[in-house]
Structure formats: C-alpha cells, structure tokens
Amino acid sequence: MSAEADVSLNDFKGLFSLQGKVAVVTGGSRGLGLNAASGLLQSGCSKVFITSRKAKACEEAIAALNKLGCSGKAISVPADLSKTSEIERLVKEVEKHTDHVDILLANAGATWGAPFDEHPEEAFAKVMDLNVKSVFICIQKFAPLLRKKAKLEDPSRVVVTGSIAGIGVGTIGKNATFGYSASKAAVLHLARNLALELGPQHILVNSIAPGFFPTKMASGLMELSGGVKKLAEANPNKRLGLPEDIAGTVVYLCSRASGHVNGGHIVLDGGSVLSAKL
Ligand SMILES: NC(=O)c1ccc[n+]([C@@H]2O[C@H](COP(=O)([O-])OP(=O)(O)OC[C@H]3O[C@@H](n4cnc5c(N)ncnc54)[C@H](OP(=O)(O)O)[C@@H]3O)[C@@H](O)[C@H]2O)c1
C-alpha cells in the first residue's frame, strides 16, 4: 500500500460525529448520565431520550439540554427500570417518537453502604437487581430497535456504566459496598458476554468503569472517605472525574472512531484503581 493510501483516512473530521443518531440514556436525569447526554446531543444526535424514575427531574434535564442550542432534541420518558413492565413501557414510549435506536447508554444504578454484619439482604438484592438484571432486561427489550439500522459499516452501540469498584475492591469497613462492587463486576462481565452475542448482529457492547465523580450518588461516600480535596490529592492524576471525561468517552464509544472496539471497558479514574495501597 502506498504512503498516500495510509494517510488518507476516511472522513477523519467526521470520525467522532454522531450526526442524526438516536440515543437512549438511562439514569439520564442527573450525574454521569446527564453529562453523557450533553455530549451525545452536542455531537449531533437527533434525539436523546432521557429516562429516570422522577418525571420532574427528567423534565428539568431535558429543559437544560434543549437550551444548549443543538439541532437535536432531548425527550423525557420517566420510568422505573427496576421493573420489567416499566422497561417495556419505556420501549413503547420511545417507539412513539422513533422507529429505531442507534445508541443505548445503560447507566442507571444504585448503591448501598453498610458494615458486613449488618449489610441488609434487601439492599443487596435491590442493588444487584437494578445494576445487573435491569441492565440485561433493558438491553434485551431495546434490542429490536437497536437492530433496525445496525449495519456492519455502521453498528449500533450499547454502553454500560460499570465502576472501578467492579475491577479493584470497592469500599469496605463501615460503609462497605459489597452488593454494589459485586454488581459492577457482574455488569462489566455481562457486557463482555453481550458483546459476543450482539456483535455479529452489528451491535457493539462496551463499558465504562468510572472512579469517583462528584455526583449525588457518590457525594455521601466521598464525604465519608475524606472529602473531595483529599480524594483528589490521593489520585495519581491529582483530580476527580469531570463531566467532559464521561461525555468524551461515551461519545467515542458511540462513534465511528471506536468501530473496532467490542467487549472492552474504559477505566475513567485518573489511575486510582492501579494505585490501591495494600
Ligand atoms: N459517581 C461516581 O463516582 C460513579 C463511579 C462509578 C460508577 N458510577 C455509576 O454511574 C452511574 C450513574 O451514577 P451517578 O454517579 O451519575 O449517580 P446519580 O447522580 O445518583 O444518578 C443516578 C441516576 O439513576 C437514576 N435511577 C436510579 N434508580 C433508578 C431506577 N430504579 N430506575 C430508573 N432510573 C433510576 C436516577 O434518577 P431517579 O432518582 O429519578 O430515578 C439518576 O438519574 C451508576 O450506574 C453508578 O453506579 C458512578
């Protein structure tokens, strides 16, 4: 092959573009989901569906997103994803606006902190259900819409939000997150399995594994773990996660730039999982 052929990349400027894509973001009303939704919309998505339990929070999120001045539109569809009937209703509501989905960000999640001896069975079950089972059911129920426009040269995408708690060991001791850590390890592995199942159908499945980002979910635990400043100082890159860290990575995983990435996970933690002191 000539040097000229090597340097003439196919539409390099459009490599990260999501022009015209239709996305669904679970847990999109705040935190990491909202950060990602902002990136998806600003990268050209024509429709971004925001879903979480609270209708008001979804409405506020889409109002903020629709003020960004993008050509695409954010649409609110509240649903409690811990119930399969609600996931089915969510799919039906989405179908009222579109005949296909290109991108599913399975991001909604919950956590629980309690010492080993008192770790409640119901909390363990609730966390496993939402963070693992509901992610599976959500991907399963959206698969028909994800298949609609999925092509070899333009695959649909599923991005699963895991955590570094599912790679290293999460919090132990007084605020131990046994169920959460187990659920995040499970969902990262679920995504690898789904990558092999859905890859041949031109649906790529990848995960992100964030470290600490100061969101509603993380703020309590971050306070109990020494606070934002101390945690940032302890991180190898001397800071915590920022909204654009999530937005940039999710956009990459949904774009042509990641067209050969399937069954992978991207760790977004400034190196913290590698630096755990034994
Ligand atoms: N922040 C971090 O440091 C961090 C680190 C690693 C991984 N993560 C993961 O990132 C994801 C997002 O977390 P976050 O930090 O952005 O937390 P967050 O700000 O608390 O957001 C959680 C989102 O999930 C929604 N949600 C919760 N239960 C739901 C249910 N049953 N059905 C539908 N939606 C539900 C919430 O909205 P409603 O309350 O309205 O339902 C909200 O939109 C989670 O999977 C979390 O495990 C976060």
- Find the residues whose C-beta lies inside 6 A of ligand 1: 27, 29-33, 52-54, 57, 80-82, 107-110, 130, 161, 163, 210, 212-213, 215-218
Catalytic sites, residue numbers: 180
Strands (E) in 43-170, as ranges, are 47-51, 73-76, 103-106, 156-161
Domain 14-268 has CATH 3.40.50.720: yes
- Pocket probe for ligand 1: among 53, 84, 245, the residue whose CB has the most ligand atoms within 8 Å is 53
Domain ranges of the chain: 14-268
CB-CB contact of 209 with 166 (8 Å): yes
Atom index in ligand 1 nearest the CA of residue 26 equals 34
Record the tokens describing residue 208, joined without a space: 């992100």
Q: Could you tell me how far CA 152 lies from the centroid of its own chain?
A: 23
**What is the pLDDT tens value at each position of the chain, 278 positions in all?**
688 878 888 899 999 999 999 999 999 999 999 999 999 999 999 999 999 999 999 999 999 999 999 999 999 999 999 999 999 999 999 999 999 999 999 999 999 999 999 999 999 999 999 999 999 999 999 999 999 999 999 999 999 999 999 999 889 999 999 999 999 999 999 999 999 999 999 999 999 999 999 999 998 889 988 899 999 999 999 999 999 999 999 999 999 999 999 999 999 999 999 986 65
Atom 17, ligand 1: residue with shortest CA distance: 217
Ligand 1 midpoint to CA 217 (Å): 6
